[in-house]
């Protein structure tokens, strides 16, 4: 059964200081969002694509993504006040397809990560089919100091993928609860028993957050 992909683009990105939604900033000849969408379009066996946009951004987003679509269709959904609310808006749009058994897994990706590859989508979607959920993780460096070796932490990235029915059930349970967890996995952890597997993330899968990230993303994308 095919998967669905949700691209979250409804933030404002004030930390990047550009005065526009950061996912609309140009990098290497296309917007951050266009790079993210192009990758999602290259993932095998995706039956539904949802782009969550900030109210007011629709005409700009439509102009950005229309040339990429060919015969494919993308559902544009208005986002909410925080990332969780934007995810919830996308899941409500996907509810009929999930209920009718047309998609088995939903992968949710931050448009602000324009360097994620189709291989990373494949890895999380495949792992979600086996385990119920999957997140990409990259280990941070360990520190050697006077107190010996301090284990490094881990950075969790997107796309994150989950069994569609469980994902919708968890977000339905969270609705009205005031839940505002930062990523998709945190909602599943709070409102489901789904097992979440860690897959290897990609060191280059940076999130555009600060002005210097735009230059770094530009340099990495131009080398592809
Ligand atoms: O602000 P931050 O970089 O943490 O946002 C992560 C992703 O979530 C971005 O791609 C952003 O566009 C999206 N987002 C959203 N709706 C919000 C806030 C963030 O779709 N209300």
Nearest to 127 by CA among 101, 163, 157: 163
pLDDT at 144: 82
Q: Is the CB of 8 under 6 A from ligand 1?
A: yes
Q: Is the CB of 112 under 6 A from ligand 1?
A: yes
Q: Is the CB of 23 under 6 A from ligand 1?
A: yes
Q: Do 193 and 199 form a contact (C-beta atoms < 8 A)?
A: no
Strands 160-163 and 105-110: antiparallel
Please state the atom number of ligand 1 nearest to the C-alpha of residue 81.
Answer: 21
Q: Do 170 and 188 form a contact (C-beta atoms < 8 A)?
A: yes
Distance CA 220, CA 115 (A): 8
Distance CA 88, CA 70 (A): 28
pLDDT at 186: 94
Least confident of 9-18, 96-105, 152-161, 208-217: 9-18
* Most informative mutation of 18, 110, 217 for ligand 1 (most atoms within 8 A of CB): 110
Ligand 1, atom 11, residue with closest C-alpha = 11
Q: Is the CB of 7 under 6 A from ligand 1?
A: no
Distance CA 94, CA 96 (A): 6
Q: Do 108 and 87 form a contact (C-beta atoms < 8 A)?
A: yes
pLDDT at residue 19 above 80? Answer: no
With a CB cutoff of 8 Å and minimum separation 6, the contacts of 123 are: 134, 136, 199, 200
pLDDT of 94-138, one tens digit each?
999 999 999 999 999 999 999 999 999 999 999 999 999 999 999
Mean pLDDT rounded to a whole number for the chain? 94
User: Would you call 135 exposed, middle or buried from its count of C-beta atoms within 10 A (0-12, 13-18, 19+)?
Assistant: buried
If you average pLDDT over residues 2-15, what whole number do you get? 91
The sign one gets for the Cα dihedral 13, 207, 62, 50 is negative
User: Ligand 1 centroid vs 188 CA: distance in angstroms?
Assistant: 18
User: Ligand 1 centroid vs 161 CA: distance in angstroms?
Assistant: 17
User: Would you call 203 exposed, middle or buried from its count of C-beta atoms within 10 A (0-12, 13-18, 19+)?
Assistant: exposed
Distance CA 45, CA 203 (A): 25
If you average pLDDT over residues 158-180, what whole number do you get? 94
User: Ligand 1 centroid vs 9 CA: distance in angstroms?
Assistant: 6
* Most informative mutation of 36, 109, 112 for ligand 1 (most atoms within 8 A of CB): 112
Residue carrying the six token digits 């993330």 = 201
Nearest to 160 by CA among 126, 191, 130, 125: 125
Taking residue 22's Cβ as centre, other Cβ atoms within 10 Å add up to 27
pLDDT of 21-52, one tens digit each?
999 999 999 999 999 999 999 999 999 999 99
pLDDT at 203: 95
If you average pLDDT over residues 66-74, what whole number do you get? 95
């Amino acid at each position: 059964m095919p998967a669905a992909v949700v691209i979250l683009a409804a933030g404002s990105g004030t930390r990047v200081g550009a005065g526009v939604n950061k996912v609309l900033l140009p990098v290497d000849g296309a917007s951050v969002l266009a790079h993210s969408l192009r990758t999602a379009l290259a993932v095998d066996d995706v039956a539904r694509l949802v782009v969550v946009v900030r109210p007011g951004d629709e005409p700009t987003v439509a102009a950005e993504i229309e040339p990429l679509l060919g015969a494919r269709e993308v559902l544009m959904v208005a986002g909410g006040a925080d990332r969780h609310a934007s995810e919830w808006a996308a899941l409500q749009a996907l509810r009929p397809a999930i209920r009718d058994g047309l998609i088995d897994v939903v992968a949710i990706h931050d448009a602000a990560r324009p360097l994620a590859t189709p291989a990373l989508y494949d890895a999380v979607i495949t792992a979600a089919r086996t385990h119920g959920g999957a997140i990409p993780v990259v280990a941070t460096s360990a520190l050697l100091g006077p107190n010996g070796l301090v284990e490094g932490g881990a950075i969790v990235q997107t796309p994150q993928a989950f069994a569609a029915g469980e994902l919708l059930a968890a977000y339905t349970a969270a609705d009205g609860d005031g839940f505002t967890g930062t990523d998709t996995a945190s909602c599943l952890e709070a409102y489901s028993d789904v097992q979440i597997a860690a897959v290897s993330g990609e060191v280059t899968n940076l999130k555009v957050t600060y002005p210097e990230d735009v230059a770094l993303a530009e340099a990495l994308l131009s080398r592809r």
